[in-house]
Amino acid sequence: MEGKNDKDFIATLRDHGLQVTYQRLAIYQALYYTKDHPSAEVIYQQVKKRFPMISLGTVYKTLEKFYEVGLIQKVSPITEVARYDAKMGTHHHLVCLACQSIQDVECVIGEPQITVPDKHGFQVVRQQVVLQGYCPACKPPDSDPT
């Protein structure tokens, strides 16, 4: 999270078979240096500060490409727009029902116990756990009338 320079980022992009442009660099860095799980729109706003001529379409295309080559993750919790995450590797998310913020959960669920019964015949490629609730900053509305 700290001492990475442009050269490292460029290498990372190249390693993933990507042509390097300053837009891609900016987008990846923006994503890399945040712990939020920003949407395309948010990333766009962020990157636009440095490169005002960048277009939203490019951000969409770029994020999708990053996702395709396995450079970033894509998170789409319940009822929401796509949110992205530069942190790779299996981890899960706490999604605040009030403010829509997303936090990572480091090590909460023991992977092994997720064993899909064979009768399903389902081949699991990846799993995603979404915990919905309220973050410290957001108190429950009054109490969930479920």
Partner DNA sequence: ATTCTTGCAAACGGTTTGCACATAC
Partner DNA sequence: GTATGTGCAAACCGTTTGCAAGAAT
Binding site for its own copies (CB under 8 A): 70, 74-80, 82, 94, 96-97, 103, 105-106, 108-110, 113-117, 120-136, 140, 144, 146
CA–CA distance, 32 with 3 (Å, rounded to integer): 12
Question: Which of 28, 38, 29, 32 is CA-nearest to residue 62?
Answer: 28
How many CB atoms neighbour CB 20 within 10 A? Answer: 15
- How far apart CA 48 and CA 26 sit, in angstroms, is 9
Binding residue (CB under 7 A) for DNA from 12, 51, 91, 135: 51
Asked if residue 55 binds DNA (CB under 7 A), the reply is yes
Q: Which of positions 87-116 make contact with DNA (CB under 7 A)?
A: none
Encoded one letter per residue, x for contact with DNA by CB under 7 A and - for no contact, window 12-41 reads --x---xxxxxxx--------------xxx
Question: Using CB distances below 5 to 8 A depending on partner kind, what does residue 110 bind out of its own copies, DNA, none?
Answer: its own copies
Both structure tokens of 106: 């480091």
Decide if 105 contacts 37 (C-beta within 8 A).
Answer: no
**In this structure, which amino acid lies at residue 85?**
D
Q: Which is nearer to DNA, 40 or 86 (CB)?
A: 40
Binding site for DNA (CB under 7 A): 14, 18-24, 39-41, 51, 53-58, 60-62, 64-65, 79, 81-82
